[in-house]
Chain A
């Protein structure tokens, strides 16, 4: 079965500290992985996709097929990074459906 797991509900760090939000997935084929972010009182928006291999707002994520992981990393957290982060998987299914993880709330303290 397709599944996305984000083991941490809440991650609290100080400004300037490194951040790693964990995401593990279960899928037998070649998935497409995403990170979505939801800032306070705003809609979900795409942060990055593994296919594009880009860095957005200093965040990067590498797909590790051996460990079935897609962890989100940033070397120096900023207060404006405080938000809810969701890892999502698309398995190439009909309709392009996304399967979301439970989400991790990132709190960056001054």
Chain B
């Protein structure tokens, strides 16, 4: 199993541009999450999903959108990039119920200039 994979690894965006961060997991996990990691701030939850077709906002959803058309994929969309979205983005997944460990992807480093 590849686990949780994310693309791209690194991206530079200009202000106002849009992009999609890709996240895929091959563990048949129903729950998936997007976090952003800012220096000294820990990880903040952006959006999460409890299954295909079901998404909900986390702590810091403004400026982002998500979709969950399949169990495996959970893309994160930035429509109008702003410097405040410069961060490292992590995708994670976990099983429904029982074992509650979240498994993380390698992260996407985004720089908005």
Residue positions of A touching B, CB distance < 8 A? 4, 6, 9, 32, 34, 36, 42-46, 49, 86, 90, 94-103
B82 at the A/B interface (Cβ < 8 Å)?
Answer: no
Q: Given A95-B48, A95-B56, A97-B48, A9–B40 Cβ distance below 8 Å?
A: yes
For this complex, 10 residue pairs linking A to B, each with C-beta atoms less than 8 Å apart, are: A9-B40, A36-B104, A43-B4, A44-B104, A46-B102, A49-B101, A95-B49, A95-B50, A100-B43, A101-B42
Contact of A43 among B31, B101, B106 (CB under 8 A): B106
Contact A97 B33 (CB under 8 A): yes
Interface size class of B (residues with CB under 8 A): 20 to 34
Q: Measured between alpha carbons, how far is A49 from B40 in the docked complex, in Å?
A: 23
Q: B90 interface residue, CB < 8 Å from A?
A: yes
Q: A32-B100, A43-B90, A97-B48 are in contact. Are A86 and B43 (CB under 8 A)?
A: yes
Report A100 CB to chain B, min CB distance, Å. 4
Q: Which residues of B contact A (CB under 8 A)?
A: 4, 31, 33, 35, 40-45, 48-50, 56, 58, 90, 92, 94, 100-102, 104-107
Residues of A near B35 (CB, < 8 A) are 100
Known: A32-B100, A44-B92. 5 other contacts (CB 8 A): A6-B42, A44-B90, A44-B104, A46-B102, A97-B48
Inter-chain contact A96/B31, CB cutoff 8 Å: yes
| A92 vs chain B, min Cβ distance (A) | 9
Which residues from chain A contact B48 at a C-beta distance below 8 Å? 95, 97
